[in-house]
Amino acid sequence: MNPIKIGLIGNGSISESHLHAYQANPKVKLWAVCDLNEERARRTAEKSDYHELLANSEVQAVSICTWNNSHAEISIAALEADKNVLCEKPLCKTVDEALKVEEAVRKTGKMLQVGYVRRHASNIAVLKKFIDAGDLGDIYFAKASMIRRLGNPGGWFSDKDRSGGGPLIDIGVHVIDLCWYLMGKPKVKSVSGNTYSKLGNRSNIENYDFYQAADYDATRNDVEDMANALVRFENGASLLVDVSFSLHAKQDSAQVNLYGSKGGAEVEPKLSIVTEQHNTMINIEPQITQPAFDFQGSFQNEINHFVDSCLGIIETNSPVEDGVEMIKILNAIYQSAAEGREIQF
């Protein structure tokens, strides 16, 4: 079998995870890399214009690792150029954009996988077997929290025009999608949300290191510090979420829990399953190599999944339709916060 030829569009920090994963996959030949920053692109490959990359008939599929405001435009162009697409989360910024991408997938017959990397974590693969076997029963409640006490990356992350928002659309999308996916992707009934912009990027803080984007600029920040939301589903289930870039919290924390009629599960900080037997509550600790989210390992799984989907070996578990639904949820949370009311679907 000839290796599939991949193009990488966008050469920022997240693209490194894509790059390493492609290089480790024997079914892949990395064919071209492009970036708005020509010097940065040339350090990795040769191209700086994605139109030139897409015009190359040798390239069969692309990873899109650019700013959020360009995801829709580049995805549509890639699909129309007869390429399969792996688009980093979120699919785009707005519902209108998402629907246009979905229509392009439908018209071209090509495949688009949304980069929900947490779906591909090894601990999620284990938990999914328990859920699919009915061991948790009817999952009726999920709670997700991703708190950074000082974690605004700055740069394009803090520029709403390019990012579409702050922690909700950056890290919140991960845990909202993961819960929704594990709950069986129920239809949303309503969304109620709040956003807060009280602290800013806190560039005044000393003696505490935090991740900074390549284009970090302490003078620009117009995204929210934190957001919380309640999502209600048509089947009666609900999801409670809170996420932050900046918060007066004692420490960073990650918590993702699912609760069902027969059992529950803690996904973050590490996988644990809860049930009862013989009138006794039981905590199950799965013996797996990676009980918590493994960043690069999960990207490797995601890239392997994308490649096999391109080759027709499997169907992607993160199709464009899921990307559209998540953008609808995120936009509804922002709308609810702005208008101070619950948004009905």
Mean pLDDT for 97-110 is: 98
Residue 25 in tokens: 């996959």
Element (H, E) at 256: strand 253-260
Per-residue pLDDT, 337? 98
Mean pLDDT for 56-68 is: 96
Q: Compute CA distances 48 → 42, 70, 78, whole Å.
A: 8, 15, 15
Residue 107 in tokens: 């018209």
Residue 44 confidence class, pLDDT cut points 50, 70, 90: very low
Per-residue pLDDT, 37? 61
Mean pLDDT for 106-122 is: 98
For the chain, the structural domain boundaries read: 4-117+302-319, 119-293+324-344
Express each pLDDT in 306-326 by its tens digit: 999 999 999 999 999 999 999
Q: Residue 41: is its pLDDT beyond 80?
A: no
Q: Please, what is the average pLDDT of the chain?
A: 95
Pick the CATH number of 4-117+302-319 from 3.30.2130.30, 3.40.30.10, 3.40.50.720, 3.30.70.360: 3.40.50.720
Pick the CATH number of 119-293+324-344 from 3.40.718.10, 3.40.50.1000, 3.40.50.620, 3.30.360.10: 3.30.360.10
Residue 213 confidence class, pLDDT cut points 50, 70, 90: confident
Maximum CA extent, the chain? 65
User: What is the percentage of the chain residues whose pLDDT exceeds 90?
Assistant: 89
Mean pLDDT for 105-126 is: 98
**Bridge partners, residue 283, by sequence:** 274
**Bridge partners, residue 217, by sequence:** none
| Amino acid residing at 25 | N
